[in-house]
Amino acid sequence: MPRRRARSKEAKEAKRKHLLQAALHLFTNNGFQGTTIEMITDHAGESTGTFYLYFESKVDIYRSLTREAYDLLNTMMQEAVSWPGMNRLARISAAVHTYYRFYREHPGYYKVMNLLHIGQPDFITDSLRVDELNNNAVELLTYLSNIIQEGIDEGELAPVNAWETTNALWGMLDGIFLIEIRNNLDIAGVPLDVLIKQALDVLIEGLVRRNT
Amino acid sequence: MPRRRARSKEAKEAKRKHLLQAALHLFTNNGFQGTTIEMITDHAGESTGTFYLYFESKVDIYRSLTREAYDLLNTMMQEAVSWPGMNRLARISAAVHTYYRFYREHPGYYKVMNLLHIGQPDFITDSLRVDELNNNAVELLTYLSNIIQEGIDEGELAPVNAWETTNALWGMLDGIFLIEIRNNLDIAGVPLDVLIKQALDVLIEGLVRRNT
Amino acid sequence: MPRRRARSKEAKEAKRKHLLQAALHLFTNNGFQGTTIEMITDHAGESTGTFYLYFESKVDIYRSLTREAYDLLNTMMQEAVSWPGMNRLARISAAVHTYYRFYREHPGYYKVMNLLHIGQPDFITDSLRVDELNNNAVELLTYLSNIIQEGIDEGELAPVNAWETTNALWGMLDGIFLIEIRNNLDIAGVPLDVLIKQALDVLIEGLVRRNT
Amino acid sequence: MPRRRARSKEAKEAKRKHLLQAALHLFTNNGFQGTTIEMITDHAGESTGTFYLYFESKVDIYRSLTREAYDLLNTMMQEAVSWPGMNRLARISAAVHTYYRFYREHPGYYKVMNLLHIGQPDFITDSLRVDELNNNAVELLTYLSNIIQEGIDEGELAPVNAWETTNALWGMLDGIFLIEIRNNLDIAGVPLDVLIKQALDVLIEGLVRRNT
DNA sequence: TATGAATGAGTTTTCATTCAT
DNA sequence: AATGAATGAAAACTCATTCAT
């Protein structure tokens, strides 16, 4: 039984999306090496061979997912932070909140973006693409750093080094999310939301109060 | 070519350590699944069979390393925090600093403890031992939480929830270390040491200043 | 060196048969655990991977052979016993003779069916399939038992318990074949055919004469 | 902790027996290849090395067990059949009954003697010893054959070929025992004892009645 | 004698990738 | 373009046997 040919550009794009969706689902639940190409194609209703028509390799589809993840996060960020009339502090708060929403609403993308590739030897080898992904991260952080810098310039925030602070802030958020992921959701015995609030309170306190 | 036989308890323990060292080195550089038993035994100058004389499986040696990591960290902690006459804030600061030192001086152990097993399906299966590791983590966090609680009780620190705060604090530290690891050491373009200081300043500020 | 690809259902079935043939040959001569997957694939001119395309495991191919053996025996039985106008005694005789012919003409299948799996721990584990095989055996014996019962009902045979007698009869046949197999064909120094005749004489005598 | 030296001949023999006992137990329950040397020595409270002081190989200990089995059976036979004043038929009956008792009371030895080595490639290789075992079997059968021959000579039994008949008889017995072993004790749904009686009735009937 | 640590060839199975159809 | 059969290099783990102590 021959499968439909993806003659039009749209049909091809749809097939690609299909495979990506399947892969996201499976990577999220079974990890990178716990997912086989066959699992992906089965899930997507395609054949093994077809997979290699759309992606170069297993690593390639993983990276495509990472790219999607960054695109999605960037879009969410843009929407959240660009309201006119927001002060810097509100923007930072919005950015942090958005990252949290991203983590909550798209846990698969979050994991793909930050975790699932850890310890996967394949990723180290071809440094070319790794850089591409790092660039995505840098772009996002730069964006936030600029906001913080503005806050500092305009006296809203303490005169810290903006870039360092951004990195620290971001790292801490990831660290907190990691608690949840690592512990299968609640070894701490505290809902993450509460933890997040706690952490942000501490952070913002530290960021702003110094001002005095 | 016959190998020296380890008959005494000490000789056996030495051989075991030898294998653990080799494994730590290789896991750190190549990840869990990027390391094969053969690589470990070659590196240690032993035969395949010998490996299984000392460890049940690849997962087993990995877990032995994790146990070592926790033991080491606990020892360092004990030494650092138990000076008489330290106030709570100094203790917290010492604990954080110690964790940083652990990360810096024993990056392999740090990775084994926190990262290298992420997404490794083998670890989920036998939940028994996983609990053991979690217990180690909880023990450490409880220890810190107690210090913070004392600080709160004695008015040195803001009246936050000690357990939540400890988790947040710890998560943030891991998050910061993760930045460095993820980016192969300096995507941020900032030495981690500076970042750490920055982050801790922010954290401690937040923790103490509220008091006013 | 690329191999011909089996795209049609027939081609696949042929390849499967090919592997089964090779396995039958090797199991017969070397036993179950004396046969490796590599031996089978080498013999069949296929690659290791291909084996697992057609069979789940070594146990699986063995069981497939057992199924084939039972199918073959059943077919032979059907053909031999279903002649119209045969009396019961003739039928029993025919059944026994057919089993003997099966043993003689398909010694490999006979061994696979009855012997080669004895003491193979792998077979005990997954009881599901073992039952399937036992069912085959029961089916065959039931079939014979029915004939004997008819013989009894119609006064041709002594009024023995049909099921018990069938089992005894069958067991004795296997026992006789076992003499030959165990002794590498002629420790007894007597051609099996003669032995069989002797045994059957004794058996039939016992079965019929009582009637008097 | 040094283990006692087996200085005296008796002590050595005891150690040997110990190992044999352990091996019999384990072979019976786990099969030949399901039993490891380590299991045997652990069970016997000896060390691996010691094993090879008493036996050449795994196959060697297995064969020693077979020898023991034949010795035991021979002894039982001798005792059972040598009552003065028994007629031939009674002797045959006693022999058969003894074999049944051997099977019932020493199932481990029975299995070692007849089944556990089937399909074990190691046994075929060194034909020298295999012959030894066959000789044991022949000896036993000869013994029985003689009794039957006497029975024939003296008119108690039908004038059949004694050797053939003995083999047939023996094979049938094994076949019946095999039913039980193969089916984990009662697929036939009939206690073996009943089956045995049934079978012997048929056999003896066949053997004697012809006489008329 | 006795020990038990050491060996390493051998086995089953997996799966990303290729390529004949 | 699409398919899915074929590949074969790995990789984890076992265990009879040896031999240094």
Closest-lying nucleotide for D41 based on CA to C1': E4
Delimit the domains of chain B by residue range: 1-55, 58-207
State the smallest CA–CA distance between residue D92 and chain C in angstroms: 15
What DSSP string runs through chain C?
-PPPP--SHHHHHHHHHHHHHHHHHHHHHH-STT--HHHHHHHHT--HHHHHHH-SSHHHHHHHHHHHHHHHHHHHHHHHH--TT--HHHHHHHHHHHHHHHHHH-HHHHHHHHTTTTT-HHHHH-HHHHHHHHHHHHHHHHHHHHHHHHHHHTTSS----HHHHHHHHHHHHHHHHHHHHHTTT-TTSS-HHHHHHHHHHHHHHHHHHTT-
Q: Which residues of chain A are within 8 Å of residue B30 when distances are taken between CB atoms? A: 121
CB B180 within 8 A of CB B155: no
Q: How confident is the model at residue D164 (pLDDT cuts 50, 70, 90)?
A: confident
| Chain C contact for D161 (CB, 8 A cutoff) | yes
Task: Check whether C140 has a pLDDT greater than 50.
Answer: yes
Q: Looking at the complex, does the CB of residue B167 fall below 8 Å from at least one CB of chain A? A: yes
Q: Is the pLDDT of residue D210 over 60?
A: no
Q: What are phi and psi of B148, to 5 degrees?
A: -60, -40
Q: Residues D133, D112: contact at Cβ < 8 Å?
A: no
Distance CA A146, CA A140 (A): 10
pLDDT of residue D68: 95
Top-level CATH class of C58-207?
Answer: mainly alpha
Q: Strand F: which bases are under 7 Å from protein Cβ?
A: 1-21
CA atoms within 13 A on the CB side of A81: 24
pLDDT band for position A185 (50/70/90)? Answer: very low
Is residue D20 scored above 90 in pLDDT? yes
What CA–CA distance (Å, rounded) separates B7 from D47?
14
**pLDDT of C1 above 60:** no
Indicate whether D108 pLDDT > 80.
yes
Does C206 contact D210 at a Cβ distance shorter than 8 Å? no
Angle at B147 between CA B143 and CA A198, to 5 degrees: 95
pLDDT at A108: 95
Radius of gyration of chain C, Cα coordinates, nearest whole angstrom:
20
Per the CATH hierarchy, to which homologous superfamily does domain D1-55 belong?
A: Homeodomain-like (1.10.10.60)
pLDDT of A91 reads 83
Q: What is the pTM of this model?
A: 0.87
B115 vs A contacts (CB less than 8 Å): 118-119
The yes-or-no verdict on residue A187 having pLDDT over 50 is no
Rounded average pLDDT over D151-175? 81
**In whole angstroms, what is the distance from residue A65 CA to residue A59 CA?**
10
Q: Percentage of chain D surpassing pLDDT 90?
A: 35
Read off the pLDDT band of C3 (50, 70, 90).
Answer: low
pLDDT of residue A18: 95
User: What pLDDT was estimated at residue D186?
Assistant: 45
Whether D138 contacts C51, CB under 8 Å: no
Phi-psi region of D125 (alpha: psi -120 to 50; beta: other; left: phi over 0): alpha
**What is the structure's pLDDT at B160?**
76
Q: List Cβ neighbours of D97 (8 Å cut-off, separation of 6 or more).
A: D80
Pairwise CA distance, residues A13 & A26, whole Å: 20
Candidate from B129-133, B172-176, C152-156, C206-210 with smallest mean pLDDT: C206-210
Partner-chain contact D134 C190, CB within 8 Å: no
How many Å apart are CA B98 and CA D115, to the nearest integer? 66
In D, minimum Cα distance to C136 occurs at D187
Mean pLDDT of all residues in C138-157 = 85
CA distances from residue B52 to A181, B38, C101, D35 in whole angstroms, order as listed: 32, 11, 51, 19
Task: For CA atoms A195, A198, A201, A203, give the dihedral sign.
Answer: negative
User: Which residues does chain B have within 8 Å of residue A209's beta carbon, measured at their own beta carbons?
Assistant: 205-206, 209-210
What is the pLDDT at residue A118?
A: 80
How many CA atoms are closer than 13 Å to the CA of A158, on its beta-carbon side?
Answer: 18
User: Is the torsion defined by CA of A45, B118, B132, A103 positive or negative?
Assistant: negative
> pLDDT tens-digit profile of A130-147?
667 677 778 888 888 888
Burial class (CB in 10 A: 0-12, 13-18, 19+), B123: middle
Q: What is the dihedral of CA A100, A101, A102, A104, to 10 degrees?
A: 90
Note the pLDDT tens digit of each residue in A42-91.
Answer: 999 999 999 999 999 999 999 999 999 999 999 999 898 878 788 877 88
The residue type of C179 is I
Q: What average pLDDT does the segment C59-85 reach? A: 91
| Residues lower than pLDDT 50 in chain B | 1, 184-188, 210-212
Beta carbons of C171 and D179 less than 8 Å apart: yes
pLDDT of residue A41 exceeding 70: yes
Tell the residue number behind the tokens 């030897």, with chain if given: A121
A152-164 burial: b if 16+ Cβ within 10 Å, else e: beeebbbebbbbb
**Once rounded to an integer, what is the mean pLDDT over residues A95-118?**
91
- Choose from A110-119, D40-49, D192-201 the range with maximum mean pLDDT: D40-49
Q: Given this model, what pLDDT does residue C69 score?
A: 96
Residue A127's pLDDT band (cuts 50, 70, 90): low
Residue type, C11: A
CA distance A45 to chain B (A): 25
Average pLDDT estimate for C71-87: 88
pLDDT at residue A1, as a whole number: 45
Chain B residues close to A118, C-beta within 8 Å: 31, 115-116, 118-119
pLDDT tens, position by position, C103-115 = 999 999 999 998 8
> Chains B, A in contact: 3+ Cβ pairs under 8 A?
yes
The pLDDT value given to residue A99: 92
State the pLDDT at residue C58.
95
- Looking at per-residue pLDDT, the higher value among D166 and A106 belongs to A106
Nucleotide nearest to B3 (CA to C1'): E6
Compute the nearest-CA separation of D102 from chain C (Å). Answer: 17
Res. D76: pLDDT tops 70: yes
More confident residue, B211 or A198: A198
DSSP-based three-state secondary structure for B141: helix
Q: Which of residues 112-131 of A touch B (CB under 8 A)?
A: 114-116, 118-121
Chain A residue with minimal CA distance to B178?
A171
Q: Which of residues 74-103 of B touch A (CB under 8 A)?
A: none
